[in-house]
Amino acid sequence: MNTASLPISTVIAFLMVLARVSGAFIFVPVPGMSSAPQPVRVVLALSITMALFPLWPVPRAVPSVGLLLEWLIVEAAVGLSIGLVVGFLSEAFGLFGQMVGLHSGHSFASTVDPNSQADSAIFVVLAQSISGLLFFATGLHRNVLHIFAKSLETQPPGMYTLSAGAGEVIVRLSSTIFSTGFRLALPLIALLVMVDLAMALVGLVNAQLQLHSLAFPAKILVTLAFLAAITAVFPKVYTDYAGRLFSAIPALTAH
């Protein structure tokens, strides 16, 4: 009777690719993924690993247990690095929401974050939700799969070594979170400062006017109107920022 069997090299290749894919999806900003049941996340990682089957590496020799463990740790670190860089997209928009909410007075309003199930500022949750929707609407999920496929071709699992250069790339890219979030929020912050100055000048001209009670709702209305006006700009800003991040990812898997 014939029995089905898999070569040990195929099993080793499967484990290494799975380690790289699983490491990335810890940080990739898939909406609802962090709160999804563990079996769902496992099935997703397995499905992507199987989809990359034509690019699985072929080990030249069967490694020892210690060497295989070292390879798996390195592959998980590579996946974590890729996922961390992709996650900067969501963090930049989250910083934008934090800055907008703080200066517009919306920091007093909170809602339940669907990812962490904790109370968060409403604009932070809104900005990160927009980021998650844009991630799929602009087709960046396909770009992530392409990055994995390309990395398996250029740096096959088992032939990559960690270097200080990868850490430098991640640190350099992390600074773009603050620059991108600040550039998004700066126009609105400047507008809110002008609103405060205008009310202060009116108060100096006529001390009888009690404008302190009007400042809070005025800033909220100005914020909502301004965000509604610039919503159409978000996809372009998002794709441009994603292009900067994705163009730097190959440096993470370079020797």
Concatenated DSSP letters for 167-221?
HHHHHHHHHHHHHHHHHHHHHHHHHHHHHHHHHHHHHHH-TT---HHHHHHHHHH
CA distance 193 to 20: 47
pLDDT tens-place values along the chain, 255 residues long: 455 566 788 888 888 888 888 888 777 766 656 666 677 778 888 888 888 888 887 777 777 888 888 888 888 888 888 888 888 888 898 888 888 877 776 666 555 555 555 556 677 878 888 888 888 888 888 888 888 888 888 777 766 666 667 778 888 888 889 988 888 888 888 888 888 788 777 777 766 666 666 777 778 888 888 888 888 888 898 999 998 888 888 777 655
CB 246 within 8 A of CB 142: no
Query: What secondary structure does DSSP assign to 74-108, as a single string?
Result: HHHHHHHHHHHHHHHHHHHHHHHHHHHHHHHTGGG
CA distance 252 to 167: 8
Q: What is the pLDDT of residue 4?
A: 52
Residue 153 DSSP class: H
The domain spans of the chain are 8-253
User: Which residue, chain included where needed, has tokens 């199987």?
Assistant: 50
Residue 119, beta-bridge partner list: 112
Q: What is the pLDDT of residue 1?
A: 47
Q: pLDDT digit string (tens) for 93-119?
A: 888 888 887 777 666 655 555 555 555
Q: What is the pLDDT of residue 110?
A: 56
Angle between helices 164-205 and 212-230 (to 10 degrees): 130
Q: What is the pLDDT of residue 129?
A: 83
Neighbours of 137 (CB within 10 A): 13
The whole model's pTM is what?
0.78
CB 17 within 8 A of CB 152: yes
Q: What is the pLDDT of residue 216?
A: 75
CA distance 245 to 81: 12
